[in-house]
Structure 1
Amino acid sequence: MPLHLLPRSLNYLETVARVGSIQAASRALGIAASAIDRQIIALEELCQTPLFERHARGMRLTSAGETAVLMARRWRADEARLEEDLRTMRGEQFGTVRLGAMDSLANSVLPDLIETFAERYSRIRFSVDIMTPKEVAHELEIGSIDLALAFNLPTDKSRHVLWSAPLPLGCVVGVGHPLWGAERTTLSEAAKHPLAVQSRALPVRGYLDERYGWLFDQAEPTLVTNSLQFLKQALIGGSYLAITSQLDTLRELEEGSLFFVPLADKNLRPQTISVVVDARRSLSRAARLVGEALSEMLPASLLRVSLSKKRDPPTPIRVLKT
């Protein structure tokens, strides 16, 4: 049974902050709105400061409220870890692993990971959130996730890196593109072709803007999207080129529907990919198993793609006219 160690007032506070109003929290918790309001008022009196700004359309956290909610979420995370540790001590292979990861892995590494654990450890559950690297760093800091799988995380003494590797940039193209099968290319050459790019909301675009923004001045992108999955489908047609890493298109490279051309520019700095945990908190047995699995699966997948021989383009499907 759940331990339910989080004080009632902090539970109500965190719920109101998450759903935006006392009425919405009442529906979510099945508790009378008046009871939730009384608990929050009592907590504000105890703290001697308002925790919410009350508006006609809902509740907004004050700075003090944000601090209190942060504590509540850490408390909840620690409660979950305690419950899992106790189960481990009783010999149960059990637990929920909270993982923050990148959208680029949603059709490759992550499904493989879930499938592997479903077969080997059926009682280990997953909570996987797709986040930006900035969001991952924040959630790891407050303890709401156990493991982070992210690009370009800066070094921090509070983080422990289980595995990390450089991710060289290259041009990804589909069947029929002039660069399909090329040994290497350059950014200047890439700029001669119609570009498909991720929007600035996504990690790799910010990375490219910061270091190679001139590329987009020289060649305005033909296609901009905030969906990596849509971008890859557009590339498969062969009309566009995207600058990214092999990991962003891992499944499609393995299947042969896309091709990766390394960039040969001097001083071109690669991205990084890392599996990271909070060094200040102990990992549950389940989270350790997941961290170990990711640290094996990711390099194996990258090596498999790197060593694969160049494929001939698939034969185009002819549409017969009637």
Structure 2
Amino acid sequence: MPLHLVPRVLHYLEEVARSGSIQAASRELGISASAVHRQITLIEEDLGDTLFVRGNKGMALTPAGQMVIELARNWRLDNSRLWNTIQANKGVESPTVKIAAMDGMVNGYLPNMVDEICRKYPQAQLEVEVTSPDSAVNGVLNGDYDVAAVVNPFPHDDLKIHWSRAYPLGCVAVPSHPVAKLDSISLVEFARQKIVFQSVALSVRRLLESRHSWIFSRAENSVVVNSIQLMKLLVQSGKYVAVTSELDAGPEIEAGQLVFVPVEDEDLFKQRFALVSNRQLPESATMSKVISIAADVLNRQPIPVSKRHVS
């Protein structure tokens, strides 16, 4: 069993920083909000400085808070290095590989990857956790996960990219929807539809807000969700459309349940899918084999096309 030497209070601080509120962190941690608040207050009193400031979008780290979070990350990495070094000195290699992936992959790439790894490398023991892209990348940087399959990973010097491909965004709709008959769609026309938007927990929303924030105020009868799977189910009801990539909706497009219509606005970004690990942590033979198989499965995913027509 790997060591767990990171002080519990640092876990509390990391969760508050990730979730943006003490209440959300307490729910995730399974402890009372008052206990989380008390621990933060004690550290602030010892440091003589505040760790968080409250803003319109929740609690944000101060410079002092950033330093404490960096301490937590370094502590976690040292914990992982210590465990791996001790096991290596004993000639023991852990068969466990911890993988982080996203909600949108659970009915497509993820089961294919797990099946192929288990078939080709049965010695591996996989621990797969479905989480948000930012949480997956932070988990890799913290040493919580060995590898992550994510979209739009934020840049970091310690991230090692094993595979990457850009997928343009488009509008997805059921074949009977009027949008599905179009060869392409503008964001102006898209905003006139009933839309399922991804929440700020997902990177597509934040990227859209950075360039096209007007869409969210102009759209009427919209729904915001933090799950790609729920987004696709709502679109499949025939009442909504959504912006996403062909990778996120690949199984439904292939099955003829959804149609992908390219967005014609030239300044719309592409969604980059990547397989990443932490270059600061040693890569075991098991982990290298698992990453190689995962990349092979990704290489067999459909190459982005301009539109999938359904008869």
**Which amino acid is the alignment partner of residue 193 of structure 2?**
H
Query: Which residue of 1 is the match for residue 266 of structure 2?
Result: 266
**Which amino acid is the alignment partner of residue 80 of structure 2?**
A
Query: Which residue of 2 is the match for residue 77 of structure 1?
Result: 80
Query: Which residue of 1 is the match for residue 57 of structure 2?
Result: none
What is the alpha-carbon distance in structure 2 between the residues aligned to residue 139 and residue 283 of structure 1?
16
Deviation for aligned residue 1:113: 1.0
Alpha carbons of structure 1 residues 105 and 78: separation in structure 2 relative to 1, 3 Å: same
Native 8 Å contact 2:101 2:148 kept in 1: yes
Deviation for aligned residue 1:57: 4.4
What is the alpha-carbon distance in structure 1 between the residues aligned to residue 265 and residue 34 of structure 2?
56
In structure 1, which of residues 60, 65, 77 is the aligned counterpart of residue 39 of structure 2? 60
**Which amino acid is the alignment partner of residue 211 of structure 2?**
R
Query: Which residue of 2 is the match for residue 184 of structure 1?
Result: 184
What is the alpha-carbon distance in structure 2 between the residues aligned to residue 207 and residue 19 of structure 1?
28
Query: Which residue of 2 is the match for residue 298 of structure 1?
Result: 298
Native 8 Å contact 1:196 1:221 kept in 2: no
Query: Which residue of 1 is the match for residue 135 of structure 2?
Result: 135
What is the alpha-carbon distance in structure 1 between the residues aligned to residue 307 and residue 218 of structure 2?
33
Native 8 Å contact 1:101 1:148 kept in 2: yes
Query: Which residue of 2 is the match for residue 311 of structure 1?
Result: 310
Query: Which residue of 2 is the match for residue 252 of structure 1?
Result: 252
Query: Which residue of 2 is the match for residue 317 of structure 1?
Result: none
Deviation for aligned residue 1:309: 5.7
Cα shift readout 1:126-163 (whole Å, capped 9, x = no counterpart): 22222333323322222222112222223333222111
Deviation for aligned residue 1:102: 1.8
Alpha carbons of structure 1 residues 146 and 302: separation in structure 2 relative to 1, 3 Å: same
Native 8 Å contact 2:174 2:180 kept in 1: yes
**Which amino acid is the alignment partner of residue 245 of structure 1?**
S
What is the alpha-carbon distance in structure 1 between the residues aligned to residue 86 and residue 154 of structure 2?
31
Deviation for aligned residue 1:202: 2.2
**Aligned with 1:168: secondary structure?**
strand
Cα shift readout 1:287-307 (whole Å, capped 9, x = no counterpart): 21222223222232132x739
Native 8 Å contact 1:14 1:73 kept in 2: no
**Which amino acid is the alignment partner of residue 207 of structure 2?**
Y
Alpha carbons of structure 1 residues 81 and 249: separation in structure 2 relative to 1, 3 Å: farther
Query: Which residue of 1 is the match for residue 96 of structure 2?
Result: 96
1:277 equivalenced with 2:256 (yes/no): no
Query: Which residue of 2 is the match for residue 43 of structure 1?
Result: none
Q: How many residue pairs are counted as aligned between the two chains?
A: 267
Structure 2 unaligned blocks of 5 or more: 14-32, 48-67
What TM-score results when the alignment is normalised by the length of structure 1?
A: 0.71
1:126 equivalenced with 2:105 (yes/no): no
Query: Which residue of 1 is the match for residue 160 of structure 2?
Result: 160
Query: Which residue of 1 is the match for residue 222 of structure 2?
Result: 222
Query: Which residue of 2 is the match for residue 52 of structure 1?
Result: none
Cα shift readout 1:240-287 (whole Å, capped 9, x = no counterpart): 110111122122112211111111112222121111122222211222
**Which amino acid is the alignment partner of residue 81 of structure 2?**
D
Alpha carbons of structure 1 residues 96 and 232: separation in structure 2 relative to 1, 3 Å: same
Query: Which residue of 2 is the match for residue 106 of structure 1?
Result: 106
Alpha carbons of structure 1 residues 18 and 239: separation in structure 2 relative to 1, 3 Å: same
What is the alpha-carbon distance in structure 2 between the residues aligned to residue 294 and residue 147 of structure 1?
10
Query: Which residue of 2 is the match for residue 197 of structure 1?
Result: 197
Deviation for aligned residue 1:226: 2.0
Alpha carbons of structure 1 residues 195 and 82: separation in structure 2 relative to 1, 3 Å: same
Native 8 Å contact 1:175 1:236 kept in 2: no
What is the alpha-carbon distance in structure 1 between the residues aligned to residue 265 and residue 309 of structure 2?
22
Alpha carbons of structure 1 residues 217 and 259: separation in structure 2 relative to 1, 3 Å: same
1:235 equivalenced with 2:238 (yes/no): no
- Percent identity, please: 26
**Which amino acid is the alignment partner of residue 172 of structure 1?**
V
